[in-house]
Amino acid sequence: EAGVAQSPRYKIIEKRQSVAFWCNPISGHATLYWYQQILGQGPKLLIQFQNNGVVDDSQLPKDRFSAERLKGVDSTLKIQPAKLEDSAVYLCASSADTSGGAYEQYFGPGTRLTVT
Amino acid sequence: GQNIDQPTEMTATEGAIVQINCTYQTSGFNGLFWYQQHAGEAPTFLSYNVLDGLEEKGRFSSFLSRSKGYSYLLLKELQMKDSASYLCAVRDWAGGGNKLTFGTGTQLKVEL
Report how far apart, in Å, the C-alpha atoms of A78 and of each of A18, A49, A108, B45 are.
Answer: 7, 15, 17, 27
Relative to beta strand A53-56, strand A88-95 is unpaired
Partner B contacted by A52 (CB < 8 A) = no
For B79, counting Cβ atoms within 10 Å of its Cβ (0-12 exposed, 13-18 middle, 19+ buried), the class is exposed
User: Residues 61 to 90 of A: which have CB under 8 A from any B CB?
Assistant: none
Contact B43 A40 (CB under 8 A): no
Measured between beta carbons, the chain A residues lying within 8 angstroms of B45 are 104-106
- pLDDT grade, residue A100 (50/70/90)? low
Q: Nearest residue on chain B to A45, judged by CA atoms?
A: B101
Per-residue pLDDT tens for B69-88?
999 999 999 999 999 999 99
Measured between beta carbons, the chain A residues lying within 8 angstroms of B44 are 107
Mean pLDDT across the stretch A82-107?
88
Contact B105 A41 (CB under 8 A): yes
Per-residue pLDDT tens for B5-56?
999 999 999 999 999 999 999 888 989 999 999 998 999 999 999 999 999 9
- pLDDT grade, residue B94 (50/70/90)? low
Res B93: pLDDT: 78
DSSP A41: S
Mean pLDDT across the stretch A80-87?
97
Partner B contacted by A25 (CB < 8 A) = no
Partner B contacted by A22 (CB < 8 A) = no
Measured between beta carbons, the chain B residues lying within 8 angstroms of A44 are 102
Tell me the pLDDT of chain A averaged across its residues. Answer: 93
Res A1: pLDDT: 65
Gap between the terminal Cα atoms of chain A: 37
Per-residue pLDDT tens for A2-45?
899 999 999 999 999 999 999 999 999 999 999 999 998 999 99
User: Residues 32 to 91 of B: which have CB under 8 A from any A CB?
Assistant: 33, 41-45, 48, 50, 87, 89, 91
Per-residue pLDDT tens for A44-64?
999 999 888 998 899 999 999
Determine contact, residues B66/B85, Cβ cutoff 8 Å: no
Mean pLDDT across the stretch A91-106?
82
